[in-house]
């Protein structure tokens, strides 16, 4: 995550785009491609990642000074694995349908590059408060990414946008946005996942390039004005 000065300069939305782990840094792509068939799956996985990311950042920030440098990674993995196991058990107990839908990708949060990367690159060198904030920001950025993918894939692939309560499977809403027979089923497949990812990644890159060009133009204009 960028430093606080850059965050204030760019604003919340721009910072989320520039530091986006999926479309900007290309981390956590496997789960993003696999679980984004429905909005339910995306929200469930996003919440799991946020919980694990924030909790692991806080714990690692607390123990960083007493952890020998040569065993940082093994210690981090043990902490993350423990948190993932707890999250997995809670899902299995209270939201079994969501647990079954997410499958092995809940357990694979342990090796998610976003979580381990933030632990090593940020949490071990910052305060608890800063680490928690970083975990929330990165977790939200990841969640926004997979929710965007799931919206595109679910609507285009099935024609319906729906959401259910994972605790009791009650339908919260279900809207048909594309008439029957006009859906594009490929978006529910692996091919659709890669296509959706490529389109969104290209849009994010275009946005970043456009903003960078504007910043460079402003800097050059200011330099000319100073002369």
User: 118: which 2 tokens?
Assistant: 């933030």
> Quick one: which of 193, 202, 106, 98 has its CA closest to 154?
193
Report the run of H or E that residue 164 belongs to, with start and end.
strand 160-164
Domain range summary for the chain, segments of one domain joined by +: 20-194
Query: What does the alpha-carbon distance between residue 167 and residue 189 come to, in Å, rounded to a whole number?
Result: 27
Q: According to DSSP H, which parts of the chain are helical?
A: 4-10, 12-18, 29-34, 39-63, 72-94, 96-102, 113-121, 128-158, 190-226
Contact 91, 98 (CB under 8 A): yes
pLDDT tens-digit profile, the chain (227 residues): 444 444 446 666 777 777 788 988 888 888 899 899 999 999 999 999 999 999 999 999 999 888 888 888 889 899 999 999 999 999 999 989 889 888 888 888 887 888 888 888 888 888 999 999 989 989 999 999 999 999 999 999 999 999 998 888 889 999 999 999 999 999 999 999 999 999 999 999 998 888 888 888 888 888 777 76
Of 171, 199, 168, residue with least CA distance to 39: 171
Q: What are phi and psi of 196, to 5 degrees?
A: -65, -45
């Amino acid at each position: 995550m960028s430093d606080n000065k850059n965050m204030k300069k760019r604003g919340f939305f721009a910072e989320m785009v520039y530091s986006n782990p999926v479309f900007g840094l290309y981390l956590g792509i496997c789960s993003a491609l696999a679980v984004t068939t429905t909005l339910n799956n995306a929200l469930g996985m996003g919440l799991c990642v946020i919980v694990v990311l924030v909790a692991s950042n806080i714990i690692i920030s607390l123990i960083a000074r007493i952890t020998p440098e040569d065993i940082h990674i093994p210690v981090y993995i043990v902490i993350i694995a423990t948190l993932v196991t707890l999250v997995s058990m809670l899902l299995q107990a209270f939201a079994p349908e969501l647990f079954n839908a997410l499958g092995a990708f809940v357990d694979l949060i342990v090796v998610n590059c976003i979580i381990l990367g933030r632990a090593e690159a940020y949490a071990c060198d910052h305060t608890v408060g800063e680490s928690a904030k970083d975990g929330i920001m990165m977790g939200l950025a990841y969640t926004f990414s997979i929710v965007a993918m799931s919206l595109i894939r679910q609507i285009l692939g099935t024609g319906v946008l729906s959401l259910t309560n994972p605790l009791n499977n009650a339908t919260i809403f279900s809207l048909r946005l594309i008439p029957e027979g006009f859906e594009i089923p490929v978006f529910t497949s692996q091919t659709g996942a890669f296509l959706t990812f490529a389109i969104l990644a290209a849009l994010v890159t275009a946005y970043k390039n456009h903003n960078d060009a504007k910043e460079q133009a402003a800097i050059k204009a200011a330099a000319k004005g100073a002369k």
